[in-house]
Amino acid sequence: MNAKILAIVLILTTNFKICQSRNYKNFALIKLVPQNSEDMKFLQNLDTQRYIDILFWKRPYKVNSEVQLLVSPVDYDIFKERASHYKVKFIVQSEDIQQSFDKQKVGAYHALRVDTFNLNEFHTLDNINNWMADMAHHNSKFVHREVIGKTVENRDIYAFSVNKNQAKTKVIVESGIHGHEWMTVAFATYFFNELIHCDSSKNPVAKHLAYNYHWLLVPVANPDGYDYTHKKDRLWRKSRRNLGTAYGVDLNRNFDHSFGKPETKALANFIEYHRSKLKKITPGKLYTKFTKREESNTELARYMIRRVSWTEINIMNVWAFSKIITLK
């Protein structure tokens, strides 16, 4: 009996550890703008030498371009000293990023009841897949779902077609290629809903987009990474590919060289299938800074909708970037 109890305790303890997420308590969010090549060298050394526990949100790539990074509380004093030594000025945007993560509400969804999916909340991968599948089923005349590939952890990668008026001009919307970019996924679900319900919407732009374009949405291009951010590490960026000594491939970096990865290969094949009508690729960026507005995905998405022109589809993105690819 004691052995059984001990075994149960060990199992419960192991499961508890598995379910624990990485905590970013007292990690500071830092913003700075490199003014010269010496500033750039300092930042690039931080990135490559890893002598300080940091995580770049917005990497250094040129002078006078804003950089954002998280600094561990253990290494904050070292970072402060090194920045002072190199005369690099910075602003602390948050002294404890975990507090903001704790405020990010993850909503529930009741299967087949599409109205229970709250667009003002973030959602798990399962809830997103189930809701979008239910929406496709309820609007099967002009919404279709397909599996375009599998991830390394054998999850389906879904694409959704929305074409209300047999439009010829196609637009591919890819989001969530970085697991931690919850807002890009939230935008994709919001935009999907706007396209479907445009007839009852007060937004004339949404109706114009729905009736003049054939939309192809890949709402979560990195399902493994996105699921991992909900269960293990809120800031996980990469795929979950086992590299032997580490996990994860940055699916967006060097994308042209990553077609051997199942996630990028699925997306590449999907784009290639429609390539005969390719008009142009238009990447863009709407990088929202660390403010309370990041919590309001509906407000941000509506802001993006207002920015869309008829001749060039722009992109709304938060935390990094995703792509909208225009096909005609």
**CATH code at position 86:** 3.30.70.340
237 lies in a domain? Answer: yes
pLDDT at 140: 98
pLDDT at 44: 92
pLDDT at 277: 60
Instruction: Look at residues 59, 79, 103 and tell me which one is the last residue of a structural domain.
Output: 103
Judge if 95 and 122 occupy the same domain.
Answer: no
pLDDT at 113: 97
DSSP, res 45: H
Judge if 64 and 206 occupy the same domain.
Answer: no
147 lies in a domain? Answer: yes
Q: What is the pLDDT along the chain (328 residues), one digit of tens a residue?
A: 455 444 434 333 333 333 458 999 999 999 999 999 999 999 999 988 989 999 998 889 899 999 999 999 999 999 999 999 999 999 999 999 999 999 888 999 999 999 999 998 999 999 999 999 999 999 999 999 999 999 999 999 999 999 999 988 888 888 898 899 898 898 889 889 999 999 998 888 889 889 988 888 999 999 999 999 999 999 999 999 999 999 999 887 645 555 668 998 898 888 888 766 644 433 333 233 222 333 334 444 444 444 433 333 333 333 333 344 444 4
List, in order, residues 6 or more apart from 99 with CB less than 8 Å away.
none
Structural domain of residue 44, as residue ranges?
Answer: 28-103
Judge if 128 and 88 occupy the same domain.
Answer: no
Instruction: Look at residues 103, 124, 149 and tell me which one is the last residue of a structural domain.
Output: 103
Judge if 98 and 124 occupy the same domain.
Answer: no
Place of tokens 């094949």: 269
Per the rule left: phi > 0, alpha: psi between -120 and 50, beta: everything else, 90 is: beta
Could you give the number of structural domains in the chain?
2
Judge if 123 and 202 occupy the same domain.
Answer: yes
- Sort strands 91-94 and 143-150 into parallel, antiparallel or unpaired: unpaired
Judge if 196 and 94 occupy the same domain.
Answer: no
pLDDT at 253: 67
pLDDT at 268: 83
Judge if 86 and 125 occupy the same domain.
Answer: no
CB atoms closer than 10 angstroms to residue 199: 10
Judge if 85 and 174 occupy the same domain.
Answer: no
295 lies in a domain? Answer: yes
How far apart, in whole angstroms, are the C-alpha atoms of residue 169 and residue 161? 13
Burial group, residue 162, by CB count within 10 angstroms (0-12, 13-18, 19+): buried
pLDDT at 20: 56
6 lies in a domain? Answer: no
Judge if 259 and 303 occupy the same domain.
Answer: yes
Instruction: Look at residues 66, 83, 103 and tell me which one is the last residue of a structural domain.
Output: 103
What CATH number does residue 255 fall under?
3.40.630.10
Judge if 84 and 151 occupy the same domain.
Answer: no
Place of tokens 């700075």: 32
Judge if 159 and 91 occupy the same domain.
Answer: no
pLDDT at 256: 56
Rounded alpha-carbon distances, angstroms, from residue 196 to 19, 38, 255: 36, 51, 31
